[in-house]
């Protein structure tokens, strides 16, 4: 027997409808790519989104089509998400920082037929256009006055093109499970993989992040997503802010410390979110300039592990809480958030900082577990680490165009590829990537944990740990170190340094001193390459 409640599907347009009705004049402020600060509001953006929806329809875009965006966070990119999903099509955010071959591969795999491109990325698209046969038209996100000369196919300035439609459009009605957004992950191995968000997953995820133990956005918040919308669904903030009726500040192309600080202060931002690098740059700027943070009170930080010193500096020097979060593109993207449970509310000083440096814990709507390779659940003791698996309505079940390939286990959990511990209070801490963990005699050894310790040696600038095969233990850790300039560390001194810091069976079987280590485009250690480097190494 079904209940008798209203059939009110969780569709993305309802978010901007809500904001336009309940918070019509709430400001949406952008640093435009052209330069000047641009000011608008939710009621105006809803009208423009309807207009864009109609224009897309005139262009022949239909339900299920992908529309690529190569764009910074601005009001135009924001309205485009609502317009594209509002006709039942799919916003496909392309990360312009990837290698150009990856960008071409992704755009062709997605078969996007239209591309909305910021001025910044016109040269990139001109360089790739020949390789992008599916794109029928490149719309440049600017007005006629700022339109550059370009060879791009059917190029037109966005504002001129948009003005060809009026806003007399009714949102396309679809099943709430309909695809709404597409974002590719780009691992260090293999082809990029597309995650296909639905209306339902995005709306539920926006509700989740606004619950009181996560970002908890209110109508009084002024929210600046520094994290680009082309990163992991923009951390859901372009949906969560209108849901809460919060004001939005969109920083456009300028993400340096001074530019971010200027907007934080001039617009009175209360909540922001970005990767640790951004907050590191801002901290350097603040210290150099003597700047203050007079309205900011909390920050969601994720994407990579946040150094405890950074959390501490913001808290002590500026009264700003950095709230560690963890997630991934496959999770819409949020999984955990480091909020305070009553069990740990008494913590202070270093113990509190240690807790704040974990990746936190999930709120309702995300289930997490750690298992061994056989899928057996492991205990939550803060010590044992295992494969981190997740389940929930905003977690992917398959990759785009690879629906046949199972990526969930028998109970429907997705293997994140991370290795983690969970402590008795539920706080999760990532210890490694599962492909990097060293499996020695049935025990797991965290490559990252040894690396973090090794860089504590006074002569070590950078460290990497990879597995080498071992006849008895299957795998054993090998440590590679790059010396600090002017130093000459020895294997013996490094092993001696580590000896009282880690368990005996974690001790590297060998230490290699190397001049440099290979990195990915985003600065991460390229362990596949390192493993190739040491393939023939004999422990000696």
**Nearer CB in complex with a copy of itself: 199/261:** 199
Binding a copy of itself (rule: CB under 8 A), the pick from 39, 97, 287, 341 is: 341
* Residue 457 near residue 473 (C-beta atoms within 8 A): no
Binding a copy of itself (rule: CB under 8 A), the pick from 63, 256, 411, 496 is: 63
Query: Total number of residues binding a copy of itself (CB under 8 A)?
Result: 76
Phi, psi for 472 (deg, rounded to 5): -95, -45
Which residues 204-223 are close enough to bind a copy of itself by CB under 8 A? Answer: 204, 207-208, 210-213, 216-220
Distance linking the first and last C-alpha atoms of the chain: 71
Question: What number of other Cβ atoms are within 10 A of residue 167's Cβ?
Answer: 14
Which residues 242-271 are close enough to bind a copy of itself by CB under 8 A? Answer: 243-245, 247
* DSSP output for 477-497: EEEEEEEPTT----HHHHHHH
Which residues 362-391 are close enough to bind a copy of itself by CB under 8 A? Answer: 362-365, 367, 391
> Residue 419, class by beta-carbon neighbours within 10 Å (0-12 exposed, 13-18 middle, 19+ buried)?
buried
**Nearer CB in complex with a copy of itself: 213/443:** 213
d(CA 299, CA 359): 14
**Nearer CB in complex with a copy of itself: 183/278:** 183
Contact letters (x/-) for a copy of itself, 114-153, by CB under 8 A?
----------------------------------------
**Nearer CB in complex with a copy of itself: 65/436:** 65
Which residues 156-175 are close enough to bind a copy of itself by CB under 8 A? Answer: 175
Give me the active site residues, please. Answer: 185, 330, 439, 444
325 near a copy of itself, judged by CB under 8 A: no
Question: What number of other Cβ atoms are within 10 A of residue 80's Cβ?
Answer: 26
Which residues 446-485 are close enough to bind a copy of itself by CB under 8 A? Answer: none
Which residues 403-442 are close enough to bind a copy of itself by CB under 8 A? Answer: 403, 408, 412, 414, 426
323 near a copy of itself, judged by CB under 8 A: no
**Tokens 């992991």 belong to which residue?**
232
Torsional class of 234: left (φ above 0), alpha (ψ -120 to 50), beta (otherwise): left
∠ CA(125), CA(523), CA(314), 5° rounding?
A: 110
Residue partners of 250: CB distance under 8 A and separation at least 6? 28, 29, 30, 31, 72, 73, 74, 75, 77, 78, 224, 225
Closest approach, Cβ 430 to a copy of itself, in A, equals: 18
Binding a copy of itself (rule: CB under 8 A), the pick from 2, 410, 492, 503 is: 2
49 near a copy of itself, judged by CB under 8 A: no
Which residues 480-519 are close enough to bind a copy of itself by CB under 8 A? Answer: none
332 near a copy of itself, judged by CB under 8 A: yes
């Amino acid at each position: 027997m079904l209940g008798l409640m209203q059939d009110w599907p969780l569709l993305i347009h309802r978010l901007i409808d809500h904001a336009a009705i309940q918070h019509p004049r709430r400001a949406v402020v952008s640093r435009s790519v052209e330069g000047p600060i641009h000011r608008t509001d939710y009621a105006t953006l809803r009208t423009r989104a309807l207009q864009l929806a109609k224009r897309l329809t005139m262009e022949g875009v239909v339900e299920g089509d992908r529309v690529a965006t190569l764009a910074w966070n601005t009001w135009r990119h924001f309205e485009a998400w609502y317009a594209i999903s509002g006709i039942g099509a799919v916003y496909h955010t392309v990360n312009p920082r990837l290698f150009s071959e990856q960008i071409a591969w992704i755009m062709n795999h997605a078969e996007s037929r239209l591309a909305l491109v910021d001025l910044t990325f016109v040269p990139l698209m001109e360089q790739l256009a020949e390789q992008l046969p599916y794109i029928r038209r490149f719309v440049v996100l600017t007005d006629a006055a700022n339109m550059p000369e370009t060879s791009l196919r059917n190029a037109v300035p966005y504002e001129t093109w948009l003005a060809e439609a009026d806003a007399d459009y009714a949102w396309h009605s679809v099943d709430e499970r309909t695809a709404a957004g597409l974002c590719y992950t780009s691992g260090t191995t293999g082809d990029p993989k597309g995650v296909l968000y639905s209306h339902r997953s995005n709306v539920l995820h926006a509700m989740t992040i606004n619950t009181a133990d996560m970002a908890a956005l209110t109508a009084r918040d002024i929210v600046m997503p520094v994290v680009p919308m082309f990163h992991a669904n923009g951390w859901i903030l372009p949906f969560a802010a209108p849901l809460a009726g919060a004001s939005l500040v969109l920083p456009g192309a300028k993400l340096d410390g001074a530019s971010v600080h200027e907007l934080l202060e001039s617009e009175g931002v209360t909540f922001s979110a970005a990767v640790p690098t951004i907050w590191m740059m801002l901290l350097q700027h603040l210290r150099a300039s003597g700047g203050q943070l007079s309205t900011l009170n909390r920050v969601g930080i994720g994407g990579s592990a946040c150094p405890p010193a950074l959390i501490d500096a913001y808290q002590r020097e500026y009264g700003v809480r950095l709230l560690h979060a963890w997630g991934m593109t496959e999770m819409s993207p949020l999984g955990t958030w480091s909020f305070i449970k009553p069990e740990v509310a008494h913590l202070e000083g270093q113990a509190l900082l240690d807790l704040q440096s974990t990746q936190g814990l999930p709120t309702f709507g995300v289930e997490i577990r750690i298992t061994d390779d056989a899928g057996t659940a492991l205990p939550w003791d803060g010590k044992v680490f295992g494969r981190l698996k997740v389940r929930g309505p905003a977690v992917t079940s398959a990759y785009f165009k690879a629906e046949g390939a199972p990526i969930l286990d028998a109970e429907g959990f997705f293997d994140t590829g991370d290795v983690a511990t969970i402590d008795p209070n539920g706080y999760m801490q990532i210890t490694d990537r599962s492909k990097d963990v060293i499996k020695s005699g049935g025990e797991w050894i965290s490559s990252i944990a040894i690396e973090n310790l090794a860089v504590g040696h006074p002569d070590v600038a950078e460290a990497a740990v990879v597995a080498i095969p071992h006849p008895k233990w299957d795998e054993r850790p090998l440590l590679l170190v790059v010396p600090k300039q002017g130093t000459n560390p020895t294997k013996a001194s490094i092993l001696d340094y580590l000896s009282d810091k880690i368990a005996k069976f974690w001790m590297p079987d060998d230490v290699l001193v190397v001049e440099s280590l290979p990195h990915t485009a985003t600065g991460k250690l390229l362990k596949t390459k390192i493993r190739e480097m040491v393939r023939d190494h004999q422990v000696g």
